[in-house]
Amino acid sequence: MRILVLGDVVGEPGRRLVEAHLPVLRRELDLEFVIINGENAAHGHGISERIARQWFEELGVHVITTGNHAFDVKDIVPYFQVESRLLRPANHPPGTPGQGYVKLHTPGGQEVLVINLMGRVEMPICDDPFRCVDGILAKERADVVVVDMHAEATSEAQAMGWYLDGRVAAVVGTHTHVPTLDAKILPGGTAYVTDIGMTGPYDGVIGMKKEASLSRFLRVKGERWEVAEGDPQLHGVFIVTEGRKAVSIQRILKTLP
């Protein structure tokens, strides 16, 4: 199976990158499955129903994952409750709206299970992602399993990669908005990268205007964050699987003219 996973889409610049490049990448890479982390797609914080619907209906995205900003947009909760392809972290406490994993069938007849997890180091309170994913894998079976590990600590993301090596096709890290150079196939056949990187403006601080971000380090009360605009870059990983294991993982980088 030929799978594309795009890292955290940030604001309008990130959305423009997706709209410009995803149709071309779909043709060039002969994609069969597309996953996007969209938790920063709306003004840098959260995702709206309008954005999610456009990605599903117009761009053919199969699954949207999120993280700690999943519910930042007002009135998004009802959409999480009715759209199973829009995920929030599976290890959120019981009773949280929405669901943390989904299993879909491709036109070719394969089952793809996508699991959204969130780390606990320097992150909002959530349940143990390791025990959570064990519980999901104990009851769900699929031809291909992809895990979005939304984590602040590189150590926690790497630990999850080794923990799931050989049990899933891919563990891809999101959240830090900084791409890492460790895309590889682990010994058990799991494609891994600590952080895919951001799809958005790199002329700032993790997608936000540098002046506002600097003010938060230099002053008692910082300026309001706003999405940056310059140097828009799309970052993703292209994964090819055979059977239940990955055989290759390749970084994708695109810019706007």
Q: What are 160-194's pLDDT values in tens digits?
A: 999 999 999 999 999 999 999 999 999 999 999 99
What confidence category does residue 220 fall into, taking pLDDT thresholds of 50, 70 and 90? Answer: confident
Q: How far apart are the first and last CA of the chain?
A: 30
Please provide the average confidence, as pLDDT, over all residues in the chain: 97
Average pLDDT over residues 5-26: 98
228, pLDDT greater than 90? yes
Check residue 31 and give its pLDDT. Answer: 98
| Residue extents of the structural domains in the chain | 2-255
Spatial CA neighbour of 118 closest among 104, 132, 136, 106: 132
The answer to pTM > 0.95 is: yes
CATH tag, 2-255: 3.60.21.10
Average pLDDT over residues 44-60: 98
Helix 154-164 to helix 129-139 angle (10° resolution) is 30
92 is annotated as an active-site residue: no
What confidence category does residue 257 fall into, taking pLDDT thresholds of 50, 70 and 90? Answer: confident
222, pLDDT greater than 90? no
Check residue 183 and give its pLDDT. Answer: 98
Is residue 205 within 8 Å of 225, Cβ to Cβ?
no
Question: Any residues with CB less than 8 A from the CB of 37 and at least 6 apart, and which?
Answer: 5, 6, 7, 8, 9, 64, 65, 66, 67, 148, 150, 174, 196
Is residue 194 within 8 Å of 256, Cβ to Cβ?
no
Average pLDDT over residues 190-199: 98
Check residue 221 and give its pLDDT. Answer: 86
Catalytic residue among 62, 69, 92, 150: 69
Check residue 131 and give its pLDDT. Answer: 98
Amino acid (1-letter code) at residue 30: D
